[in-house]
Amino acid sequence: MDEAHVEKKHPRAESIKIREAITRSVEANVVALAGLIAHGRGEAFDYILGEKTTSPGMKAITASAAYIILAEHPILSVNGNVAALCAEEFVELSKISNSKLEVNLFHRTLEREIAIENLLKKAGADKVLGVGEAASSRIQEIFSDRRRVDPEGIFKADVVFVPLEDGDRTQGLVKMGKKVLTVDLNPLSRTAQWANVTIVDNIIRAMPLLISEVKRLKTVKPLELKAIIKNYDNKKVLSEAMIIMEQRLHSLAEKGVYLDIDY
């Protein structure tokens, strides 16, 4: 589908442009069909959130930056949707934070793993973990192909940044004792609820902010970073995000939304 299809005046132009990019990534075998449905769920929650980074979102971004900087062995997990939307940002974050990149798919096929590896390398990555036979370790308590992770990556990581992740696997990683940071527009999802830090935001908006926060906090003393983590309360942050959604739904309901937009 061609971008020219989107009329600029369309009230949802930005959202449609992203939608078209992710659809093209299916054709390039980077995104699985189930990834498109997941993207749609995100679109709906983002719409209710107000399509902007909120204050609880920003708190979670700051806490994530602190965790990544303090980590001994931080890993950035990349699935198809993440690669399609933010390959460059993941490579940049990996470089500025000395984190490794790992391809970590819900629907594993070697072809898709290689397509994502290539996308990351094209965006400047030196090394990409988790491709093919490299994903030979297992997440505990997961009994399908979905348990596979790289022994040099997620398996031995202390901090894992796994945006747009499946609930079972997030839970598995937390139970393995890892600190799990995620991005999930649905504050009620199991991933959102199980993670140590949940950034309730669109990954496209969150990544540049996370990069800025890592750059800013790298110059700060470890004690201050530890204080950021100590003061961070994910349950409270999730609750604040839900309240924002609830209030926005309330105000949209009151004014009837779209019909007074000029298009």
Q: Which residues bind a second copy (CB under 8 A)?
A: 1, 5, 11, 19, 22-23, 26, 33-34, 36-45, 47-48, 107, 144, 167, 186-190, 193-194, 235, 238-239, 242-243, 245-246, 249-250, 252-253, 256-259
Closer of 188 and 227 to a second copy (Cβ): 188
Min separation Cβ 136 and a second copy, Å:
22
Closer of 100 and 112 to a second copy (Cβ): 112
Closer of 104 and 189 to a second copy (Cβ): 189
Residue 128: closest CA among 107, 104, 148: 104
Spatial neighbors of 181 by CB under 8 A, at least 6 apart, are 63, 64, 67, 68, 159, 160, 161, 162, 195, 196, 197, 199
Closer of 98 and 109 to a second copy (Cβ): 109
In the numeric block, which tokens belong to residue 10?
A: 């369309």
Min separation Cβ 23 and a second copy, Å:
5
Query: CA-based diameter of the chain, in Å?
Result: 55
Strand pairing class (137-138; 148-149): antiparallel
Min separation Cβ 99 and a second copy, Å:
28
Calpha distance 176→228 (Å, rounded): 23
Min separation Cβ 60 and a second copy, Å:
16
